[in-house]
Amino acid sequence: MTWVFLAVAILFEVAATLALKAATDGRKAWYALVVAGYAVAFTSLTLVLDMGMGIGVAYGVWAAAGVSITAIASRYLFGEPFTKVMALGIAMVAAGVLLVELGAAH
């Protein structure tokens, strides 16, 4: 169940961040989704930590997945660039989070 709440935290953080971009493009109604999304994301992350997942693992996965998904989604939603260098960076972040996870298991 811990990983389910972490996935919820990630998805709502990404949705809130993308809504923030939409709101800054002049669509002010999106701010409601920004506030609600971040509230659900941080509440879910709090539950994850309360269930016993280490902060290093939880925050690492949350942040890395959020950055990666947001970068990819912004390419399709807002026409922002997504380069090979960015893809390499995402792969390196994923590798780093994996190493943190493996290190926490010992």
Which tokens sit at 31? 């701010």
Residue ranges of domains in the chain: 2-104
What type of residue sits at position 94?
Answer: A
Question: How many other C-beta atoms lie within 10 A of the C-beta of residue 105?
Answer: 8
Per-residue pLDDT of 49-105, as tens digits, reads: 999 999 988 998 999 999 999 999 999 999 999 999 999 999 999 898 888 878 877
Please give the Cα distance from 27 to 31 (Å, whole number): 8
Q: Are 91 and 35 in contact (CB under 8 A)?
A: no
- What pLDDT score was predicted for residue 27? 83
Per-residue pLDDT of 11-36, as tens digits, reads: 999 999 999 999 987 888 999 999 99
Which tokens sit at 84? 């090979």
